[in-house]
Chains A and B, each alone.
Chain A
């Protein structure tokens, strides 16, 4: 076998300019990659944090059936989070997977909306939060099933069938408690009142979301909003409840500005990997 020719200084110059991925690979669109990564974090973190919140009910719910429901919804959400965050790690290309993203980021790096980190409160407050979230996620995933990224579309199309159940269950409880006793009605009113100010953030279009929209990675939120408002109106009418008065919206979760509640949640969620790094079953 003939030996390779010696490396000339001009070859070295060419090699240094070549992308680390190789000269002949398709060029990686960095802007696209970072937008997709960001949106996957938002999707994954929403599901992860709400899944963890609902998990707090395990063994404490009012009846065994409700306990099962909440644990099952939590499981679905954590399944979604696993898919979204694993894909985020893959897109990022720095060797992080879903577990690393879930357990080795600190509060400021989380991109979930503020609604999902709100405390469980009583059962009415938990169900109010679930309705506001699942009604949004159902419509969002319907749209994301046609995402320009096939992998996102596949996860959304898979998960939306489960989210339809979550929305239905939460709606039934809002109706049952709202149109129930004086006590249950007062609690549901308070629960909705607590959660209502976090709705606008779900439909917020900041710079990243606008980039994602332009790339077919995020839907038309006005369209989502119309269906969402109609759904809430139907449920509230059946629950004989008035929608809370519009409140000053609170934004910032998508950019890492969270309430104090998230830090406590994460401390519990990450306790084991923080205390015993690299522990395995």
Chain B
């Protein structure tokens, strides 16, 4: 693996490495599913934080560094950008499915009002707390199956 590969093959390899780096708070999602990998070039990876104060940001950078190093990409730089700001619209369709399967309701698509319970699918749900266990989640409850659940907030 290395420096002399053609550019396209090299960035495909880099994407593959990044696809296996989990989000430390929601390990079922990779950082690619989450949409925080903004750019991959021959010699750099550009990341963006989800929330300004998200404590996972530094952990993610370290995990990406380790993954790149162990795949032989020691020379690839990691850069961080704030602009344009991350939005939940960047979570991939696979990422949304993984969230639901994990028990977290994915953020509503534009125009979608009802929040569906990730356990039983019911739309009879209500907010318990606008802020949940991490900055990106709110705490909800299902009135049909009575289970509480996390909602990934639209952002």
Name the interface size band of chain B.
20 to 34
A184 to B81 Cα, complex, angstroms:
44
Q: Judging by beta carbons under 8 Å apart, are B155 and A77 in contact?
A: no
CB distance from B87 to the nearest CB of A (A): 8
B132 in the interface, Cβ–Cβ < 8 Å? yes
CB distance from A281 to the nearest CB of B (A): 11
CB distance from B117 to the nearest CB of A (A): 19
Q: Mark B87-114, 1 if CB is under 8 A from A, else 0.
A: 0000000000000000000000000000
Interface residues of A in 77-106 (CB under 8 A from B): 77-80, 82-83
CB-CB under 8 A for A158 and B130, given A72-B135, A78-B53, A80-B52:
no
CB distance from A138 to the nearest CB of B (A): 14
Q: Judging by beta carbons under 8 Å apart, are B133 and A68 in contact?
A: yes
Q: Judging by beta carbons under 8 Å apart, are B131 and A73 in contact?
A: yes
CB distance from B61 to the nearest CB of A (A): 14
Q: Judging by beta carbons under 8 Å apart, are A65 and B128 in contact?
A: yes
A77 to B53 Cα, complex, angstroms:
7
Q: Which of B81, B83, B131, B133 has the most CB of A within 10 A?
A: B131
Q: Which of A71, A72, A82, A154 has the most CB of B within 10 A?
A: A72
Chain B, residue nearest A71 (CB): B131
Chain A, residue nearest B81 (CB): A154
CB distance from A58 to the nearest CB of B (A): 13
CB-defined contacts of A76 to chain B, threshold 8 Å: 51-53, 135
CB-defined contacts of A220 to chain B, threshold 8 Å: none
Given A69-B131, A82-B53, A155-B52: 9 more A-B contacts, CB < 8 Å? A72-B135, A78-B53, A79-B53, A80-B52, A157-B82, A158-B49, A158-B52, A158-B86, A165-B131
Interface residues of A (CB under 8 A from B): 65, 68-69, 71-73, 75-80, 82-83, 150, 153-155, 157-159, 161-162, 165, 168-169
